[in-house]
Amino acid sequence: AGTPPPPAGPALHAQLSRSKHGTQNAAIARRLHDLSSPGGAPLVLLELGAGRGGLSAAVVQASPAPAALRVLLFDRMKPRGCLDTHMAGRGAVVRRIKIDL
């Protein structure tokens, strides 16, 4: 009855690692973490054609300070199983903007 909730924590990390973009997501997350300054301005992440938000979720998952992240997801719809709530639960500020790209 109903759709199960999307994975979180280690299960999400395992799912992202298995995905076809897992390696790319991890590399981007590491690079963004390297570029961020501790105690500096929030890091704003824009994901165009976001789909479920997998790339942003990988960045939030890898971040030692997810509360310093501002995530803007752009897509024409909000798909089932999107990871917005998971990212917000880790402290990131998440906003999904529906727009036809």
Give the Å distances, CA to CA, from 91 to 49, 99, 100. 23, 25, 28
Q: How confident is the model at residue 83 (pLDDT cuts 50, 70, 90)?
A: very high
Mean of pLDDT over the chain? 81
Q: How far is CA 44 from CA 4, 28, 33, 70, in A?
A: 30, 14, 12, 5
pLDDT at 4: 65
pLDDT tens per residue across span 45-82: 999 999 999 889 988 888 878 888 899 999 998 888 89
Is the pTM higher than 0.75?
no
